[in-house]
Structure 1
């Protein structure tokens, strides 16, 4: 039987993640605010060794800020990582997919939703089982939006959230 010669693709050079001196951390963190998105994505490639995700500038900045500090000061201790994994398994039975998905898309209690309407700033506080607006509890954001505007609104849309919980 004849042998067919195959040529293997050349190996990519090993990726080296740069060390960041602790003295440079504050300057690099401050520079993230004024850096273009293209440069932020380039920093992502350098610091994570992979393509950046298609997420917002704010997300990319916050992850880069964490990564810069992690490379300068070190990451979580192995014991801390193990403890977090154990806690995650208690919550989801070890199903990693469930761990990455919140039970619902409702903002966490304590979150403040801010909306300007007709020149007035309206602030709603998310609570565990309801919402607070002007010191009164409301069962839904739609009820608050209706109170503010006098018309029917989807409250999640009115306050700039993408959709109803779980949708």
Structure 2
């Protein structure tokens, strides 16, 4: 990808790059190690960054407005909102768990989870539907170690 190519061509090139090339591009554009997320996440963040560098980022007043809206939603607890965001898998992630010889696939959605074509607000509700008993959904799907909980 040539930095002098038109922006649409640079964005299209992201789709044809190998994951290792995307990670190298991340290091170049963000000057940090890429996060351990899926390819789609890397592509979308790189596309945003390419446009941000070419056209400029958000205006300071827009950033302030977004921060104010975020504080209104989470009560201003910045640490709590960061922890929540870091723990929740990104939308599109598939969680796979075998239970009594049956493989169950849960897809993370923007507003919760989907299992067997039905939306759920929590992993615990899905784990309960699968097992018939109460489970911590994060533990059931291997996202949290019971001993550290």
2:128 maps to 1:143:
yes
Deviation, 1:155, is 5.7
**Unaligned regions of 5+ residues in structure 2, if any?**
90-107
Match of 1:65 among 39, 47, 50: 47
**Unaligned regions of 5+ residues in structure 1, if any?**
1-19, 115-121, 132-138
Match of 1:43 among 25, 29, 47: 25
2:114 maps to 1:113:
yes
Alignment partner, residue 120 of structure 2: 126
Equivalent position SS for 2:36: coil
**Deviations, residues 77-116 of structure 1 (Å, cap 9, x unaligned):** 21110111223334343x43223122874966744525xx
Greater share of helix: 2
Q: TM-score, normalised by structure 1?
A: 0.53
Which of 1 and 2 has greater Rg?
Answer: 1
2:79 maps to 1:85:
no
Residue 142 of structure 1 contacts residue 155 of structure 1 at CA under 8 Å; is this kept in 2?
yes
RMSD: 3.8
Aligned length: 123
